[in-house]
Amino acid sequence: MVAALKTVLMIEDNPADVEIIREELALVRGTEFTVETASNLADGLTYIGEHAVNGILLDLSLPDSHGLETFMRTREQAPELPIVVLTGNEDEELGLQAVREGAQDYIVKGNLKGSGLARAIEYAIERKVVDTKLRRAKELEAISHLSMGMVKDINNVLAVILMNLQSLEWPLRDDDFLSGQIKAARRAVFYGANLTKRLSGLSTEDAFSRKLIDINEQIANMADALSNVAEKGTAVETVFATTVSPVLINTLDLETALIGLVANARDSMLGGGRIVITTEDVKVADGEYAENDVGHGLGLRMISGYIVKSQQNEGFLDAMSMLDQYQQLTELPV
């Protein structure tokens, strides 16, 4: 089986040390590393921001940064990446300090041997993966306790509101205006219940993950919720493409984005109207689009956050608006 290629960024200002590490790693069988280099911390942090790497080999004594501060600045820039600190024989205590602050390991430069170096990098990457999973599990547990408690309290309030609305509905059945207000309030209660259901979903790992979905089916399943958001006088219509590619996206983000768009459209049409949601496959070649300012409205900023800037969904947003006519938004998660 061919080993997976791993990219390691070595931030080191000594060309001789760089060559030693390249040569030692090249001698190791069964493990393939690509070693990229930066000779100062500023260039290294820039590289991290622009390229994908699996791990960092970090010299703590660089032309533009010295000591533990070098590690702290690197960790701040890339908290998700494993960092192995390189030290001299006289700096082992500094290496231990870096480990206590979160480095995965430290290596004394005089002990740079191929197999040991490769194992240190591999173990650092694996430990970081395990640490990330443990941290995520703790976060999910905390969110679970918080969200489930909130869901219970909110549902109790909604139940009281609904019972009071039901008691008013029959006595006021002959008053068209008040009957309409009560029905609108009941729709809002059911919409609130749907929100608490989604909130309870935050207690699972699925709330933070992406999966391949049928976008037509997902939107169709939201029909009732979207109609409740639009309220009376505003129709929500769907026009689905006959064939549409699966979409890789976090479903909670998608639902939140659609509800936000429908709510904004409803508020913009005081006299009611039609909200049309369409789907279609669009092929976009490299260089044919650019991310631009998506406007100043809260709704657009929210959608941009869910679809464009989210590290989960990696899509982009295309917006077109004409005064007093329509606003067209296209989310393209890829």
C-beta of residue 121 within 8 angstroms of C-beta of residue 55 = yes
pLDDT tops 80 at residue 2? no
| Number of structural domains found in the chain | 2
Please state the pTM of the whole predicted model: 0.47
CATH number for the domain harbouring residue 267: 3.30.565.10
Cβ proximity of 58 and 40 under 8 Å: no
Residue 139 located in a structural domain: no
Pairing assessment for the beta strands 326-332 and 32-38 based on DSSP bridges = unpaired
Q: Which domain range does residue 63 map to?
A: 5-112
Q: What percent of the chain has pLDDT over 70?
A: 74
Average pLDDT over residues 185-191: 81
Residue 216 lies in a domain: yes
pLDDT of residue 198: 66
Which range has the worst mean pLDDT, 33-37, 61-65, 158-162, 262-266? 262-266
Domain assignment present for 117: no
Tell me the pLDDT band of 311, cut-offs 50, 70 and 90: very low
Q: What is the pLDDT of residues 68-121, one digit of tens each?
A: 999 999 999 888 889 999 887 677 788 889 989 988 888 888 776 666 777 888
Edge-first strand order for the sheet with 55-59 is 32-38, 5-11, 55-59, 83-87, 105-108
DSSP bridge partners of 10: 37, 57
Whole-angstrom CA distances from 104 to 22, 68, 114 are 20, 14, 18
What sign results for the dihedral spanned by CA atoms 83, 37, 312, 246? negative
104 within a domain of the structure (yes/no) = yes
Same-domain pairing of 107 and 217: no
Domain containing residue 70: CATH number: 3.40.50.2300
Q: Which of 82, 112, 142 is the last residue of a domain?
A: 112
Q: Is residue 185 part of a domain?
A: no
Flag whether 259 is in a domain: yes
53 occurs within a structural domain: yes
Last residue of a domain, one of 112, 130, 147: 112
Percent of the chain whose pLDDT exceeds 90: 12
332 domain-assigned: yes
Which of 94, 112, 130 terminates a domain? The answer is 112
